[in-house]
Amino acid sequence: MRIALGISYLGTAYQGWQSQPSGQTVQDRLESALGQFATVPIATLCAGRTDAGVHGLMQVVHFDTDLVREPFSWVRGTNRFLPPDIAVQWAQPAPDAFHARASALARRYAYVLLESPVRPSVDAGRVGWVFRPLDGDALRQGATHLIGEHDFTSFRASACQALSPIKHLTRIDISRRGAYWRFDFEASAFLHHMIRNIMGCLLQIGQGLQPPDWMAEVLAARDRDAAAPTFAPDGLYFLGPRYGPEWGLPERTAAYDWLP
C-alpha cells in the first residue's frame, strides 16, 4: 500500500530536509518516527527538499508499506515519536502511480520579511529582516522580469544538482501587513537557493540600491556573480506542491492560517 503524508516543520534546528549522516534533518527524524510506529524501517520520498533553516507548512511524502492502518493512526502514531517542531498533518492512501515529487505540477513558497529598525525577537528564526524602508512598487516592477520560463543560472547555487537551470516561474505576489512583507512564489520547480537569491536581488531593488530593470540584467547574465548575496533562510516557508485533482490530496494545512 502506498501512503501519502503531509508534514509541517519548523526548520530552525535542522540541517535541511534531506537525510544526512548527522541524523539532524527533518527526513531523518520523520523516518525514525515512522519506523518506531511501524516497527519496521520506512523510507520516504518528498515533493521538494528544503535547505537548513527553511520551514515547511505542507511537505508531502510517500512511502510503501505492508502495514495496514487507518489514516488517523499514521498521523497520531507517528507524531507520538516526533519532536515538537515536526508534525504529520494528514495521511491518506494513494494509488501506486502517485509519486510525491514526479506527480507535482508546481511548488509554492512564501518568504516573510520584517521591515523594522530593530531586529526580530519573538519571531526570530521565523522571518527575514531588513532595517531600511522598502519601496513596494519597485519590488513589484523588479519581480515582473522573472515571470515566465527562463534560464535562472544567476540565481542558482554552485551545489545545485538540477539537470537544467530552465524553470517556469508563474507567480510572484508581494503584499504587506504592518511591518511584515510577504512574497509568494510559484513555479514548476525551483533551483537550489533560487528563492533566497531572488530575495537578495529584490531587496537591493526595494531599498533603492538598484533600479527595477537591474533584475533583467541579472537574469540575462546567467552568472551567479551578477546577483546579490544569498538572503537568510529564516523567513522561507515551503507551502507545498500542487497536484492534480485526480489524487484527491489536501492543498493546505492549518498552519496556512497562522502565516502572516
- Note whether 154 and 221 are within 8 A (CB): yes
User: How far apart, in whole angstroms, are the C-alpha atoms of residue 53 and residue 126?
Assistant: 9
CA 203, chain centre distance (Å): 19
CB atoms within 10 A of CB 144: 12
- Note whether 70 and 252 are within 8 A (CB): no
Q: If DSSP codes are grouped into helix, strand and coil, which group holds residue 54?
A: coil
DSSP letters, 219-235, are HHHT-GGGSPPPPPSTT
**Catalytic positions, written as ranges:** 51
- Note whether 16 and 250 are within 8 A (CB): no
User: How far apart, in whole angstroms, are the C-alpha atoms of residue 114 and residue 191?
Assistant: 25
- For 112-131, b/e burial (b = at least 16 CB within 10 A) is bbbbeeeeeeeeeebbbbbe
User: How far apart, in whole angstroms, are the C-alpha atoms of residue 113 and residue 115?
Assistant: 6
- Beta-strand (E) ranges in 77-122? 86-94, 106-115
Cell of 149: 520560463
